[in-house]
Structures are given as structure tokens and as C-alpha cells.
Structure 1
Amino acid sequence: MSVDWKKYLVPLKEVSNDTERIRKEYFRNKAETAVKNLKKNEFDAYYVDNRSEARKLLLSLVPEGATIGCGDSHTLFALDMEEAFREKGCTVIAHVCARNRRAFESETGFQNKEEARRAMREILQNYLVSDVFLLGANAITMDGQIVNVDGRGNRIAGSIYGPDRIIVIAGVNKLVPDVEAGRQRVGFTAAPMNHLKYGRDGLPCLKAGVCVDCRHPERACHITSIIHRKPQDSDFHVILVGEELGF
């Protein structure tokens, strides 16, 4: 005896799932596990659902009148905090020199490259004695470690020692299973996208689609840091945001 299956048909939209709800729950579950392990590694760690909550939390962690160093981070750019920091009487150290030397020389109007180099060095040194240093992460592992790769090292230096308070903020797209996956994420995603941002479109990883451990003169993958646990005697905070942010 056959079944009249046609009477059970319903419009697809009635059986579709709430994709946004599923995505948010998935993000939250992963991030809360990572936060728990970051806390085990002695970081002050937090999870927030969206960038609006991230702005409020970040603002609460920055003291009034603080001097703030900012590592080059599209996550920070997406939060658009500069005006809110100014309203708290904070000074945000210029980060144009952190982007790259050519941008600094062209955008600041220095005619003498040696003067530009000295000014850039002084600004980057001030990062290391700022009241608060803000940066993103190339990857955060599910067991609570932070992976970053730099060309010059100013961002990594600021994340290890010097500033009174260090705050890492990252979207859930930066979560990876382990350190090796974090290094792979840098080569496969973060580094190529940053090369495109800087106009370094001749790099081999952009042509190959994967890192080939090149020796190109514009390669920016020179220094790798893996922060296994909170540096001793540091005031170190990590904020995970339930959105895809940055590279």
C-alpha cells in the first residue's frame, strides 16, 4: 500500500533552521571553552556576543586618561573606539608607523628618511611603556594559548612586556584547535590578507594560495610568539567576540 506523501509537503522556509541562532550558539560554545582554558592559563578572559558588547567591555578596562598603544589590528579598527577613548581623556599613540615604513614616511610628510626612521622608532618605543596596549591575535587555541606573527616585532613586544595592562581582542574566527593549527592559519589566511592590505601583491603566498616559506624581501613573517600562559606579574586580558572580526 503506497503512502500519499504529497500531503506531508510543506514550504522549505517552514522547515529551514534559524541559521543565525545556530551560528551564535556554535560560536558561544567554542568561545566559552577557550575562555575557560585561557583562565586556567591565568589570563583574565571574557566572552561577549557582539562588537557592541566588546566596545563596552573594552572601554571599562581602559582607565581614564590612559596612554594607549595600538597594534595594527583590523579587529580594533572594526570596533571604532578612538572617539570613545578621547572622551575618557586618553591619548592613543599613532599607529601609522606600525602599518609599514613606507606609509609612515609618505603620510607624515618627512623629507628626510633618517628623521622618519628616528620618529617611527620613538613612537614604537612608546608602545612599550604605554598604560594600556591593545592588539588582536592571529590565532587563539582552544587550550588557551595566543599565537602572533610579526614582521618588525613591535606588536609582539608590546604583548609581552612593558605596558601596565595588555588587552588582546579577537573574533571567534581566530579560534583554532592547537598551536600548529594557529601557525597554519597565519600562513593560509592572516598573512596573505595582510599582504593584500599593504599592497604586497607579488608575494608567493598570494600566487600559491598557501605559505611557501618564501624569502621574498617584503615577507612579513619574521617573528612568531606563542604565549602559553599569562606572562609573570602582568595584567593581561583577552576578549573573545562572537563575530568574525579581522584577518
Structure 2
Amino acid sequence: MTVQAPPLDPAFAGPAPAEQLERAAKSLLDRGFAVHVVDTVEQARALVRTLLTADETVFTASSETLRISGIAADIDESGDYRSVRRESGADVRDVHAAIRLGATPDVVVGSVHAVTEDGRLAIASASGSQLAPYASGARRVIWVAGAQKVVPDLDTALRRIHEYSLPKEWRRLDELAGQTSFVGKILIVEREALPERGTVVLIRETIGF
């Protein structure tokens, strides 16, 4: 039996208008996040490097945004940072090993699947391995997101997960390893209680899914 990928809605691929992105940035600030809005992926990459220090342990969550931008390589391969992935030597193909690996780093760097205009973040995962440090395990969180991830509201954010992010990840895994994907858990981050624990880097360009 052939299992087909979920249908993909290309409407979620385009960048949000500038005014929508600015509204999201202001709302994120109001909800306790530190926010940076940059023009290009390269600027985001350079900015993330300045937000990290050499003495902190840093875990890179699985993310096409981090991979494509080069941020993951900067952290895990450059030797400039205490990469949890590099230092542990753990086999991250094992789900439980991956969960333990990234549960309590000093900093977790990753992305989101949607940012709402009123300042909420939505992140989906099959296993949930990156959700623990996002929610509370890491001392600091840095999320990097392209402009196409900004949506009007939470209902649209959840639709984007199921109708765009999941189909894209399904197709990526199928092409890469003959595997499929699913939405197992969804984390919705409403606000941060601790000042500047969460940093959101919004890019006016599109990257990732």
C-alpha cells in the first residue's frame, strides 16, 4: 500500500507583509520575549553568534531553518561553542537519547512553525524531543523564523502546521530516507515569565518551513 503525503497548501509559503511582521514583533515584546527583526538570513546567522557565549552549553534543535542558514554548523562544527551534540557523542537517531541529550542545556537554538500577530509561538514535533528545553528545560531559548511563518492567529498557526509544515517535512524525510512524519505534539508558547529567557529572531526573508 502506498502512503501518500498530506496535501500541501502553498499559500503558507509566502512571506508576511512588513506591517504584519512588525505587529507580531511588537506583540512578542509585550509578551516578554526579546525580539530582533533582521532583513536577511546572513544577518540572522551573524546575530545568533553574538547571542551565544563560549562557556554555555548549546543544543541545536532539529530545524531546516538552522541547517539551511548555517547556524547549526556554526554551533555544532565550528568549535567556537560548547555544542551539546558534538560533546555528547550520543546517537541522536535514538528518540530517548535525543530527548535526554537536549533536555537541559544552557541555551537551545531552534525555530518555530508559526508566529501569530498577537505574539504566540507554535511548534510541532513528532517525538517531542525539542519541546522540553523550549518549554522550560533550557535557561535560554533562541528561535529563528522566516517571514513566511507569521500568521494572523492561532487557528491559522495550527492550520499552517498541518497543511504546510507537516507535508514539507513528510516529503523531505521521504526523499532523504524513505520515511514519513506526523504531528505527535504541539507546543504553544504564550509568554515568558523570566525576563528575556526567550529570544525571537524574525527574518524578513523566507527560510525553512
Shared fold (TM-score, shorter chain, > 0.5): yes
Q: What's 1:55 paired with?
A: 45
Q: What's 1:74 paired with?
A: 64
For the aligned residue pairs, the C-alpha RMSD in angstroms reads: 2.7
Q: Where is the helix percentage greater, Structure 1 or Structure 2?
A: 1
Within the alignment, does 1:163 sit opposite 2:125 as a pair?
no
Runs (5+) with no aligned partner, structure 2: 1-13
Within the alignment, does 1:225 sit opposite 2:187 as a pair?
yes
Alignment of 1:71-220 (within 5 A): 71-85=61-75, 86-93=78-85, 104=93, 117=94, 120-199=95-174, 219-220=181-182
Q: What's 2:11 paired with?
A: none
Letter in 2 for 1:52: E
Letter in 1 for 2:167: P
Kindly provide the CA deviation profile for residues 158-214 of structure 1, in whole angstroms up to 9, marking residues without a partner as x.
21011121011100000000000000011110001101111189xxxxxxxxxxxxx
Q: Is the 8 A contact 2:33 2:195 kept in 1?
A: no
Alpha-carbon distance in 2 for matches of 1:47, 1:76: 17
Runs of 4+ in structure 1 off by over 3 angstroms are 82-85, 94-98, 231-234
% identical aligned pairs: 22
Q: Is the 8 A contact 1:37 1:142 kept in 2?
A: yes
Q: Is the 8 A contact 1:82 1:92 kept in 2?
A: no
Letter in 2 for 1:44: A
Alpha-carbon distance in 2 for matches of 1:152, 1:82: 20
Name the SS of the counterpart of 1:226 in structure 2.
strand
The equivalent position to 1:31 in structure 2, one of 3, 15, 21, is 21
Alpha-carbon distance in 1 for matches of 2:196, 2:132: 13
Name the SS of the counterpart of 2:166 in structure 1.
helix
Kindly provide the CA deviation profile for residues 41-67 of structure 1, in whole angstroms up to 9, marking residues without a partner as x.
011111000011101111111111332
Q: What's 1:246 paired with?
A: 208
Q: Is the 8 A contact 2:67 2:73 kept in 1?
A: no
Q: Which gives a bigger RCO, structure 1 or 2 (Cα 8 Å, sep 6+)? A: 2
Letter in 2 for 1:184: R
Greater gyration radius: 1
TM-score normalised by the chain length of structure 1: 0.69
Alpha-carbon distance in 1 for matches of 2:20, 2:156: 15
CA 151–84 in structure 1, closer or farther in 2 if over 3 Å, else same: closer
Report the Cα offset of residue 234 of structure 1.
6.8
Letter in 1 for 2:23: T
Report the Cα offset of residue 88 of structure 1.
2.2
Q: What's 2:3 paired with?
A: none
Q: Size of the alignment, in residue pairs?
A: 190
Name the SS of the counterpart of 1:167 in structure 2.
strand
